[in-house]
Structure 1
Amino acid sequence: MSTAKSKANCQLQIKLICVFVSFIIPVCGSVPFIASQVVAQSQTTAKTKGDEYLHKGLKYYQQSQFTLAIQSWQDALKFYRQSKNRQREGETLGNLGLAHREIGKYSKAIDYQQQALKIFQELNNRQAQGQLLGNLGNLYSVIGDYKKAEEYQQQSLTIAREIKDQVGEGFSLGALGMIYADKGNYSKAVELYLQSLAIAEETKDSQRKAGILHNLGSAYQSQGKDNQALEAFQKSLNLARELNDRNIEQKALNSLGLIYANFKDYNKAITSQQQSLKIAQEIGDRLSEALVLNNFGHTLFTSGKLVEAEKKLRLSVNILDSLRENLGDRNKVSIFDTQLNTYNLLQQILVAQNKPGAALEASELGRARVFAELMERNLKSKSNSNSKSKVIAPLTITQIKQIAKQQKATLVEYSIVPDDFLHQGKLKAPELELFIWVVKPTGEVILRRVNLKSLRQQNTSLTKIVTKTRNALDPAENSEFINKKVVSQGLKQLHELLIAPIAEDLPKDPEERVIFIPHETLFFVPFTALEDKNGKYLIEKHTIVSAPAIQILGLTHQQRKRSQGLAKDILVVGNPTMPTLKVGDPPYQLYQLDGTEIEAKEVANLLQTKAIIGKDATKLDIVKKMPKAKIIHIATHGLLDDIKQLGVPGAIALAPSGNDNGFLTSPEIIDLQLNAELVVLSACQTGRGDITGDGVIGLSRSLLTSGAASTIVSLWDAPDDTTKALMISFYKNLKADGDKARALRQAMLSNMKKPLNPTHWAAFTLMGESE
């Protein structure tokens, strides 16, 4: 392996330093495995054919001709495998991983790097292992999985220090600096960058220095130190041009464009971004091209050139969509999270042009895209379709109107717009504005805008209000008592922000459905319990459903039509013998829920079936029964944990048996191929999970993906006695009416008369189909 100054700064990480929603793209060091000793050897001894291909690929790589580099390295790989040269095979695989990353083929890049890592572990080559761990860390940063990125970089840094690899240590320090920047800890990022810069200067690594200077400028800009950022970016650009490193030159030009836009020097900003865009296109760096187009669009937007701005953003969106192809579903969600600012910016540009319908299309582009792809894939597999579309087509405004008509409902979609503020990665920007679209069954589309800046004067935000209110409603967060005053105040504040601006646009008939499509933190809003100035709850005025996206509604409708008549059983489960939770130390067995056993027996009696309880409710048996059931009611513990560490949180506690631990996890549910018209999870917090651009990653998403037409889940720990009463009332109403939303509404209204506060009756929400 090498410490050669080859392409030491080839890799970018997505670091979202936003001016409005613009990106600075840091450069992160990853060195190709083509070694300096191979080059030296070629001058004194005859090279093998494989070495010729390897060296040729390096030349192409240094010239940013990544496709040609891949072709050469593929030829080298064939030769080394035939000659059983494991060292060179590992080096070539590592190089192929870097080149595929440069052209946006992240799934292949990860695979190549993992293959290379395995070889060098077998060869006990610690230096190569350290470098590959760092490269994998960089890759996971690109797709937005910062937890894995940090784990890999820390391992890489440990190895570099153990073997006294100063260059490797510099790379790891710089990469960790970017991860700290992603977390918003810019002072720590600057500290790490300066350490990495010192190593680059000591080892006279000019390319590394150019990359670190760029990243340092990025951190300075995040701190609002534009003059220091400008100086660092300019130094980076000068060095890159001296070295003929087009990769760093492109990124430095893009970053300078952002600085000039901050200074309102739009001519310089546009010139820099045009130059950056040209280089990105010439070297085939698709991700950089998309991000420069985003920044270019932002500059045009802020300078008042709205039509040109829209064109740039649409080009950016097309590229970003293509970059998600071939990734695994969880990695698709991660990278999608890093791309959301582009979709937000497109919405703002379209709203500024008074195009509410087109802006709603853009809003849908920025939510639940991976979710929709999963659902469509499952639908096609069940219908034996041969179609293999990789990216589901986004909805048009015509299709959105058709779904509103099809659902016989008024659709309400929210979009939280971030403020014009420097922020980065997953660090949330202050909330600027709320877009609310109302789509009536008649096809009328209305856009309302709510200014959120005033909340800052009250030292609060929409997110803080949602969190405080939900926590105040949750008995698990309030060991002594529910503070009714805090609950009522929060529900009224949320009503004023979310409902009052559209109150006149909603149907007057309380039997007509309203389907809410939340955004970000709004997924945890109990819409049924929002309280107007007169103390009237929203459920008293409207029949309420929710969905993660309008496109998901279209797909659940298809699932309901497809599954009609395929499943006839009724499955009711309650209080299974509880499994042992091994997440944490020490492991412990979950406590039994005697109240759920009573609930399950009463529900089963009402639905004319027998409840499965206790030791009979094994996961293995229940999983076999679920695809044959048209109604599934499960009353047990719901967990938010990622039980099997698969990257998807959520699990249902069922009875263990044999070697099975009893936990039915979200990833396992996706594979069940359900045909249910309704799945009710009468358990704690089953509607919660990780909030992402793809919606809430958890149990409800997995159930709908697996084929359920609708699901009822909870937002907090509802008390056993009132949950039982709510469920019995719900099923009685469902038998009489047949409409799930109306049945749930009537159950809530019945419980409300007791009288009880919303903690007792508003925890559950219906997602998906109502009929």
Structure 2
Amino acid sequence: MFCRSRNIVSRSVLLVLCFVIGCGSALPQVTAAEWLAEAGKQFQGRDFVAARRSLERAVDTAQKEQNTQVEADARSYLGEGMQRAGEYAAANAEFEKALGLYEQLGNRSRAASVRTFLGSIAFSTGDEKKAREYYEQAMAAYETLNDLAAVAILHRSLAFFSKGDEERRHITQGLEIARQIGARRTEAQLLHLWGDRDFGADDFRSAFERLNEARAIFEELGDRDDLARVLTSMGRLYRVHGHADQALPFYERALDLQKQSGDKQGVIQSLNAITVALNIVGRHAEALRNEQEALRLARETGSPFFIKFILEGVASTHLHLKQYQRAADVLEEARQLTPPRASTLRLLSEARFRLNQYDRALQTAEEGLQLEHSRDVLEDRAQALWKLGRTAEALSDIREVLDSIEQARTTLVPTDFMKQGFSDTYRFVTNLAIRVFLDSGRERDALATAEQSRGRAFLDLLASKDLASKVESLMQQAANDTSSGTGLGLKVGGLPPLVTRGDSPAVNRANPSIARSTELPSPETSSAASMEDLLALAARLNSTILSYWIDEDSTIIWTVSPDGRIGSARTNFGEETISKWIDEALRPAERTTTRGPRVIELPSRAGDTILTSRRGQMPWRRLYDALIRPVRTQLASKGSRRLTIIPSGPLFRLSFAALMAENGRYLIEDYSIHYAPAGAVLKYTNLTKARTSELPARYLLVANPSGMPALPDGKTLPSLPGSDEEVRRIAQMLPSATVTTLRAGNADETRVRNAIPSAKVIHLATHGIVNDNDALNSFLAFGRAGDAAAADGRLTAEEVYGLDLHADLVFLSACRTALGRISGDGVAGLARAFFYAGAASVVSTLWDVADEPASQLVVEFYRSLLSGTGDWRKGDALRTAQLRLLRALRAGQLQVNTPFGKLSLPEDPILWAGFVVIGEP
């Protein structure tokens, strides 16, 4: 900020005395140049208040000395400090005076510099025309002076006012000059701007690359201000990918840096970014307090631009809190400020829609579209048109929005983690589209829209693995051809490994606390299942597809029959209600305050105990009424009685087998059931099934490992004698030559890893530990064979992604292995990892399973599977096993010792319905 034209001896003590008692005649006179030099030291020491006082003294003294040069410099630096503090009017006045003085001195370089600051203030206060004029004047002066460093900076400034080719020209020319002269800060600033422009154009992949490159340079230079701003941009990328929780640490670090440097404008922007993320994660009261602080700071600046910007954030929070009139009032205030912003009108349209003012909502949205033809404003116009009965026009807008989202998917940051949350970002418009399609009798379009939002990251990941396999095959073929002299010169390269170990540099350096240990590259963009695909799927599986969609207010159900019939139904039970009933169904005993003969404790395979109850049927009946009864007439009553369940939201936690009809029959008593996160996923599992069909039958059976690792809290995992017996009985059903059994001391992680690739059926009966907050660290427990990650006894989901399986079936006889973090992409957990690794079907569990009953069920599953013929499948075998266990429970044949004596276990679904077949039935 400060420079000196000559060497000056500092008289700090004298200057301090001048501050305290004033500079009287008894003390030597302090010159204006000395005050200016002292301000420079104070600024370097980050004492901004003292620096400002010194600059004011420098101005006063320079006027008395008639030292025009020092007065101009001091006013220019004063303007900079005031601008950083958000005092735009005062800063503008100082810069105007400085400009006049520099022009009087004939100092064209410093005059041009001041014009850049005046342009920045004009931009911040909403006068883009004046800002551009100042920047163009400065550019002309610097070009005349051949000041390439300044020219590069001005290219960046002018890019803010440009679009299309002109914008690209300014950025690329600025970058070329910055790199030519080694101006690293300017280079990074231009990369940051380019990344932001890529973001605005939905080119998220390029944005991520450029922002990371800019961030690395700013960190190398120790440039706190610019680093803070690029961190905010990076946080926004995480947020639009559906990871607001991951965006918050970026924003918070940026805010901390800006507070340290006194960057008031940056503080305002970071507070607003934090508010947006807090609203997304449901922390609305905290968001409102945060944005009110931002509004206070914005009003201090006097900038209509910043005040309007923050008023939008306040209104958005009121919308989240369902305070619609307050939101509308705040937005009416914002609307009066310049410059006009489409985002103000979009939010106002939303507020009016929520107030049932549909005509006014439509009018406001159309005004917004005149300023910016964006997805968000189109969405607001669509919902207003829908409520006004103008369905055809609403559908036109909705289709345009959906097409735009599909296009954006092609440029997502190409990692599995980043892609997983994207569907959640546009959940609302998907809900709207489904409702409008259904209301207009287009149930096929509604189902296709739902499918378009399901499991897309997983599909991309599976497609990326398929691509990698093809590339590897081509590379091997090329190598073989070359060695044999028949090569065609094929070159294939540039594909990243499918699993990379170690920290992600981009995230780790930005904030180590949110670094993830694995990034799964996902460069491909796969298509969702079309209606034709779903019809073909139902016919191939000879199954009725039950596809669900749950939003805030309703549950929507589609049926696709093997004969091509499609049906649908809608109930008024929203996500909150369904989630509550599922909680009640899964934990009936926990709502009992006393222990007795009606509540029995059993050891689980998660190392805990589970409670069983003779009560608790009502939630299962309610769930049946909400999820099955509305479409019961559309389900097969004879012939094929198989259901393919495609869940939504909380339904990923639910075993449909236990849904109970009014006559007391469970759904499993009438149908075999299997699950898929999306219809298109079954295309890939079918390919895996075909690849494994000709492989020899080889079984890997693992049970009751000894020497398992302790849990993070130091808790020791207990042995599982039931799993030991389970595996022994399964092995007796199989030809001994086809079986590898690993038990007790032989069931260490290294041996399990070595045996897995050659097995067609993999059965793992051990403890499963699910980490909902970090899906990749969920693990299956085996014996420790060493300290390395591959031998530490924790086969994590991260490590499973790196395995090479050729398995028709993976049976995870452990707790909650079907669960994990739930998003619009489905469940990120152990089962997902095994599908990626190469499994056609995974049998896993939705909750903690009791060791002994689970062992009996598992043995019956294999007995039924091995004896089946024709169209007999894994889902049928699981149904048979569950029914046999259910009959035994009803007959009181399963008994356990309790403090109350020997008691028969109840027919609680917790004991028999936890296992599910995912993937191929």
TM-score range, shorter chain: 0.7 to 0.9
Equivalent runs, 1:493-512 vs 2, <5 Å: 493-509=622-638, 512=641
Equivalent runs, 1:297-696 vs 2, <5 Å: 297-325=382-410, 326-327=412-413, 328-382=415-469, 390-418=524-552, 432-452=553-573, 461-472=577-588, 481-486=611-616, 488-509=617-638, 512-566=641-695, 568-580=697-709, 584=712, 586=713, 590-607=717-734, 608=736, 609-641=739-771, 648=776, 650-658=778-786, 659-660=788-789, 661-696=792-827
1:698 aligned residue: 829
Would you say 1:148 and 2:278 are equivalent positions? no
Distance 1:712 1:481, change over 3 A: closer
Please identify, of 617-626 and 138-147, the stretch whose mean Cα deviation from structure 2 is larger: 617-626
Would you say 1:759 and 2:919 are equivalent positions? no
Q: What do residues 609-656 of structure 1 show as CA deviations (whole Å, max 9, x unaligned)?
A: 13113444343443343232211111112122279x5x6463222334
Counting aligned pairs with the same residue, the percent is 25
Q: TM-score of the superposition, structure 2-length normalised?
A: 0.71
Are the counterparts in 2 of residues 344 and 366 from structure 1 also a CA contact under 8 Å?
Answer: no
SS of aligned partner of 1:602: helix
- Within the candidate set 140, 159, 164, 1:60 is matched to 159
Would you say 1:236 and 2:334 are equivalent positions? yes
SS of aligned partner of 2:258: helix
SS of aligned partner of 1:610: strand
2:651 is matched by which residue type in structure 1? Answer: L
1:16 aligned residue: none
| Higher Cα radius of gyration | 2
1:211 to partner: Cα distance: 0.7
Are the counterparts in 2 of residues 217 and 229 from structure 1 also a CA contact under 8 Å?
Answer: yes
Could you say which structure has the greater relative contact order, defined with CA pairs below 8 angstroms and 6 or more residues apart?
1
1:713 aligned residue: 844
- Within the candidate set 723, 748, 753, 2:854 is matched to 723
Please identify, of 370-379 and 336-345, the stretch whose mean Cα deviation from structure 2 is larger: 370-379
2:551 is matched by which residue type in structure 1? Answer: V
Distance 1:633 1:108, change over 3 A: same
Distance 1:480 1:597, change over 3 A: closer
Q: What do residues 366-394 of structure 1 show as CA deviations (whole Å, max 9, x unaligned)?
A: 21122222223333444559999943233
For these two proteins, the number of residue pairs brought into alignment is 708
2:764 is matched by which residue type in structure 1? Answer: I
Distance 1:473 1:725, change over 3 A: farther
Are the counterparts in 1 of residues 463 and 524 from structure 2 also a CA contact under 8 Å?
Answer: no
Are the counterparts in 2 of residues 510 and 540 from structure 1 also a CA contact under 8 Å?
Answer: no
- Within the candidate set 721, 743, 757, 2:877 is matched to 743
Would you say 1:182 and 2:308 are equivalent positions? no
Distance 1:40 1:161, change over 3 A: farther
Q: Quote the Cα distance in structure 2 between the aligned partners of 1:731 and 1:587.
A: 35
Give me the CA root mean square deviation. 3.3
Please identify, of 587-596 and 174-183, the stretch whose mean Cα deviation from structure 2 is larger: 587-596
Q: Quote the Cα distance in structure 1 between the aligned partners of 2:610 and 2:452.
A: 44
Equivalent runs, 1:259-298 vs 2, <5 Å: 259-281=351-373, 289-298=374-383
1:508 to partner: Cα distance: 2.3
Distance 1:626 1:167, change over 3 A: same
2:215 aligned residue: 117
1:769 aligned residue: 920
1:303 to partner: Cα distance: 0.9
1:323 to partner: Cα distance: 1.7
1:150 to partner: Cα distance: 1.4
1:128 to partner: Cα distance: 2.8
1:760 to partner: Cα distance: 1.7
Q: Quote the Cα distance in structure 2 between the aligned partners of 1:653 and 1:631.
A: 19
Q: Quote the Cα distance in structure 2 between the aligned partners of 1:239 and 1:690.
A: 43
1:26 aligned residue: none
Distance 1:173 1:451, change over 3 A: closer
Are the counterparts in 2 of residues 716 and 763 from structure 1 also a CA contact under 8 Å?
Answer: yes
Are the counterparts in 2 of residues 49 and 76 from structure 1 also a CA contact under 8 Å?
Answer: no
2:679 is matched by which residue type in structure 1? Answer: I
1:116 to partner: Cα distance: 2.5
1:198 to partner: Cα distance: 1.7
Would you say 1:85 and 2:183 are equivalent positions? yes
1:399 to partner: Cα distance: 2.2
Q: Flag structure 1 segments of 5+ consecutive residues without an equivalent.
A: 9-28, 242-247, 282-288, 419-431
1:127 to partner: Cα distance: 2.7
1:766 to partner: Cα distance: 0.5
1:185 to partner: Cα distance: 3.6
SS of aligned partner of 2:662: coil
